[in-house]
Structure formats: structure tokens, C-alpha cells
Amino acid sequence: MAETTPLRLIAEDADDLTVIAAAVQDAVTKAENLKYESRKHRFSIELNRFRWEAKTRRRKGPQTRIRSLLAFDGVLAVKTLGITKSDPDMVYSLLNVEFVPDEDPPGGVVRLLFAGDGELALTVEALDVTLLDSDYEWTTRRTPSHERRKR
């Protein structure tokens, strides 16, 4: 099944981050997979990432998801809105990752926006983001869609 190579991406500026943001769009996770290691200044998320790059390469055939790690280094603080660990079965769908620089670079805030108004704000001393795919890949029948469902 592994027709495409697992991604290994690094972002050190806002343009690099847009590539990672496109790769992780519609990735899903649970709150238990959000980890902040304050002593190491590291925030990481284990994701089930939809392989958009494989979808564009092969128009027909199986669609896949892959287990990935999205890590942020140099994190000074984490704020959450609408994300809680109280419901362990709640699935969060990542929509976008963006960087808002401080007036005095290279620091700023990385915003991770989730469906349903969930948000994480990571205050970083500099943009240092890594996306690593594992070898664990599986097929899925559903392609993520952003269209509103009719009732």
C-alpha cells in the first residue's frame, strides 16, 4: 500500500508552516494525544492524518490515513479554547495551523484551529515545527469534506 514516502517536514518560517498546515488539514486526534512538556519547551500531537498528497497523485483507488507526529519546539506557554480532556472519546479535527509573529521576531503565537471552534495557542520563542509520518498507514472510505450537511 505504501506507494508514497512518509512525510518528514520542518518549518522554520510562516511559508514553511503553510506546507505543514496543508498536510495536516483534516487530521483527527483525541485530547489524550495532546502533550505539553513544559521543562523541554515541547508540545506534540499524535494525529491520524489524511494523505492529501496521495489523493492528488492517484485519482482513483484507496484513500489512506497515516499516523503522524506534529511537534513544536521552543514553546513557552499553551492556551486552549474549547478543548478538554474530560471526554476521552471526543475526536478533534484539525482545520488549520497558522503563525502570528510578535512585533519583535522571531517569537510569536502558533494557532491550531479545530472544527467546532476548538483552538490551541502556543506561544513560541521561534517557529520550530516538525511533522513526521510513521509507517502505520490504513485505508479509509471517507474523504474529508467541508461542505455543510443538509438536514
Q: How confident is the model at residue 88 (pLDDT cuts 50, 70, 90)?
A: confident
Which pLDDT belongs to residue 1? 46
Q: Does 149 map to a domain?
A: no
Q: How many domains does the chain have?
A: 1
Whether 147 maps to a domain, the answer reads: no
Inform me whether the pLDDT recorded for 146 exceeds 70. no
In the chain, the amino acid numbered 112 is L
Residue 56 in domain: yes
Distance separating alpha carbons of residues 49 and 136, to the nearest angstrom: 11
Q: Is residue 148 part of a domain?
A: no
Per the structure, the complete domain to which residue 111 belongs is given by 8-140
Helix (H, G, I), strand (E, B) or coil at 57: helix
Predicted local distance difference test score (pLDDT) of residue 151? 44
Strands 28-30 and 34-37: unpaired
**Is the residue at 22 inside a domain?**
yes
Band (56; pLDDT cuts 50, 70, 90):
low
d(CA 39, CA 87): 27
